[in-house]
Amino acid sequence: MNKQLYRIIFNQARQLWMVVAEIARAGRGRTGHRYRCPSSPQHRCRLTALRFGLLLVFGGVSLTAQAAIVADGQAPGRQQPTLVRSANGTPQVNIQTPGADGVSHNTYRQFDVDKQGVILNNSHQATQTQLGGMVAGNPWLAKGDASVILNEVNSHDPSRLNGWIEVAGHKAEVIIANPAGITCNGCGFINSHRTTLTTGQALMEQGRLKGFDVNQGEVRIDGHGMDSTQQSYTDIIARSVAINAKLHAQDLKVTAGRNIVDAAHQQIKKKSVDDEKHPAFALDVAALGGMYAHKIRLIGTEAGVGVHNAGNIGASAGEVHITADGRIENRGTLSSRDALQLTASSGISNTGKLLSQSAVNLQAGGALDNQGRVESRGDTTVNAGTIHSSHDSVWAAGLDDNGNTTRPGSLTLTAQHVQAKGKNLATDTLAIHSQQIDLSDSQTAASQIQLTASQAGISTARATVNADRLTAKTPGQFNNDGGQLVAKEIHLTTPDLSNQQGKINQTGTGELALHTRTLNNREG
């Protein structure tokens, strides 16, 4: 009853008159002051023009339900939501009638949310909300509520989401689409099972949402961050994404680049290269930023545009997958309970930490530079054009954060050239396959060590190598000058073995087999 009627109340806190639903109450439960008028249309017009107009002129009434949310008057009527306020003054959007597919398509000239938040009314009956208390029913939903609430913004300015967005009534997927960009600073979502922030144009077909066409725009997480922990799925689809604060979610998927992405965020069609200036990074996570979820999948499709992390990206209950059609740079921490997988068409640079309680898999089309820590409690597998790791670096498999054995884990490095000068550790097998292998000055240890160089030599000069079984094969020189090879069983195959001031120490009853044509063992 009275769900389509609105009245004016005096808001004591704001000291102004406001338009609210008929069921709203003012003050401490008292009925608010009302302007009543005779029932004739003539007198109703007289009220609007005279009394209401004077109040408006002198600033005594708030006419708009939410000055920062403005429906697009140029859009078709079926896409124009109604904007009012709830009893406590929280902005309320009565979303439009959904189509046959359950999509309520709402178009705005502006969609900004302040700290007070906003209510997307998805109930035909009066219903209770967390942000606004009891709210009137939405007259546009006489034929049923929406399963998807699409909020599409036609503006030259980014949308600023600085508060909570609540779905009143039936739980629904919430989509905010603004090609000019979206900034979230303390935003969150209530009573929504899925949330999507996108800078793509919504692709509609006979009332059905087919996907998003992304050409421009950035989604930014700033300041107070984003809370999407109440949603089963969180999607960010944009030309570029900047994470300067904490983002919390359950199942998080981010796709950056010029793409056409389907509504389910499963199919991604990369668009042709444009002439516009490319963003510096498809995804940029700042030092104060972070992404925390059960599962995380990050995809950058734009050629030559990479992913940069100086913060913390962590999946507490699942996998972290990062794919870039460019370079991946990590100066922070990437961690996962399940597999941690990085794939870059160009290179990978790590000066931070790559940690997994399960397995680490790194794939790079170019150079992989490790000056940090890459550790898994299971297997660590690396494939790249070249691999270089500094004296301070760590490659580890089958070990926890404190270096304690967890379970059998294998470390496998495959590249045209491998240089691993830091700590190379595995509880099971350490296998290196390359044209040339340089382990000089390193600390290398595993149950079984297999070194295979296909073209040039192998160097363990000044290194310490410990194993139960050590096997090395090269068509070039094996250089152990100043190094120490310690194993229960040793097999070396090389035309030229140099062991000047070095030690080859067989500690067990296994075989010591040195297959070589020349041996330089001076002071060794």
Where do the structural domains in the chain lie, given as residue ranges? Answer: 6-62
Q: Which amino acid is at 234?
A: T
How far is the C-alpha of 420 from the C-alpha of 423, rounded, in Å?
8
Q: Which two tokens stand for residue 277?
A: 């200036």
Q: Answer yes or no: are the C-beta atoms of 377 and 357 closer than 8 Å.
A: yes
- SS3 assignment, position 57: helix
pTM, two decimal places: 0.85
The beta strands (E) that lie in 240-358 are given as: 240-243, 246-256, 259-262, 268-270, 281-285, 290-293, 295-300, 306-309, 312-315, 320-324, 328-330, 333-336, 340-344, 348-350, 353-356
Q: Which residues pair with 269 in a beta bridge?
A: 260
CA distances from 361 to 145, 335, 349, 430 (A): 45, 12, 14, 15
Q: How many CA atoms lie within 13 A of 166 on its CB side?
A: 23
How far is the C-alpha of 301 from the C-alpha of 351, rounded, in Å?
24
How far is the C-alpha of 174 from the C-alpha of 1, rounded, in Å?
28
User: What are the 10-residue block averages of pLDDT along the chain, 524 residues in total?
Assistant: 50 47 44 38 43 40 58 94 94 96 97 97 97 96 97 97 98 98 98 98 94 97 98 98 98 97 97 81 95 98 94 96 97 97 97 97 98 97 98 94 82 98 97 98 97 96 97 96 96 95 88 89 75
| pLDDT of the residue at 46 | 44
Q: Which two tokens stand for residue 157?
A: 């300015």
Q: Answer yes or no: are the C-beta atoms of 254 and 268 closer than 8 Å.
A: no
| pLDDT of the residue at 21 | 52
| pLDDT of the residue at 52 | 43
Q: Answer yes or no: are the C-beta atoms of 276 and 254 closer than 8 Å.
A: no
Q: Which amino acid is at 75?
A: A
| pLDDT of the residue at 510 | 79
| pLDDT of the residue at 292 | 98
Q: Answer yes or no: are the C-beta atoms of 166 and 144 closer than 8 Å.
A: no
Phi, psi of 305 (to 5 degrees): -105, 120
Secondary structure letter of residue 33 according to DSSP: P
Q: Answer yes or no: are the C-beta atoms of 366 and 347 closer than 8 Å.
A: yes
